[in-house]
Amino acid sequence: MASVAKLGVSSYRKQNHPDRNGIACHFMITDKPKKSFSVVQNIDVLIRVVDEHGEVHKYQKKYSELWQYGKKNRYAKHDDAFLVPVAWREGYNGFYQVSAVAYLMKNKPTKFIKPRPLRKAKRGEPPTIRNHVEPDGSSRPGLPPWGTLHGRWETFVPGGKALAGLTRVIKMEWKNLDNPGQDLSSGADIKVSVDTSHVH
């Protein structure tokens, strides 16, 4: 009887950056294809916060991101990270929710683009961050939500060709409204939960 490929993830670990905090993991594939393959993940992220005046602020994006796997591919070990900016937590109560639906594919799907590389900074100068294009056609500074991976704004549809699937809902919550000015660099203010289901 032929083995069935299965898509999973490693244990989650904390990941902290100067401007954002959260969790990260990497994909794990059982009985993976012998040749090159890829993992495509559809992301639907919502951040909702309440400020000191009771006003609600929201950020919501949908996009797809691509990991390519192969002997010569450097994306295989890239983290799958879920991070909340400090700017959305400092002095706010709020939550972050991501629906992450991943598919294991034999080949690389088309119409995924890689962000333009960052220009190497001269000594003593800050790096130049190239702009990216939003779904409405506007140009915004910095990398797109999928970072340095290949990605696109359109939701990926596997069309029955996925070898395996993985669905996760990642939730984070924080209550910093009554603690303005506290140090959030460790991410200790964030409570995290993850629900996972496998689909074949």
The whole-number pLDDT of residue 82 equals 96
Q: Which of 175, 166, 176 is nearest to 199 (CA)?
A: 166
Identify any residues that bridge with 39 across adjacent strands, giving them in sequence order.
67, 104
**Is 163 within the bounds of a domain?**
yes
Q: What domain range is 77 assigned to?
A: 6-115+152-199
Give the Cα-Cα-Cα angle 39, 45, 51 (nearest 5 degrees): 155
**Is 82 within the bounds of a domain?**
yes
With left for phi above 0 and alpha for psi between -120 and 50, is residue 142 left, alpha or beta?
left
The whole-number pLDDT of residue 94 equals 97
**Is 160 within the bounds of a domain?**
yes
Contact 18, 8 (CB under 8 A): no
**Is 146 within the bounds of a domain?**
no
Distances (CA, A) of 41 to 22, 154, 155, 198: 18, 11, 9, 13
**Is 134 within the bounds of a domain?**
no
* Phi, psi (deg, nearest 5) at residue 86: -60, -35
**Is 139 within the bounds of a domain?**
no
Q: Which of 64, 45, 74 is nearest to 102 (CA)?
A: 64
The whole-number pLDDT of residue 1 equals 46
**Is 167 within the bounds of a domain?**
yes
**Is 106 within the bounds of a domain?**
yes
The rounded average pLDDT for each run of 10 residues, N- to C-terminus, in the chain (200 residues) is: 76 94 92 80 96 94 91 66 94 96 89 73 61 78 84 92 93 93 93 85
The whole-number pLDDT of residue 147 equals 84
Query: In 52-163, which ranges are E strands?
Result: 56-69, 80-85, 93-105, 132-133, 139-140, 150-152
Domain count, the chain: 1
Q: Which class for 8: exposed (0-12), middle (13-18), buried (19 or more C-beta within 10 A)?
A: middle
Contact 180, 90 (CB under 8 A): yes
- Token pair of 90, please? 């400092």
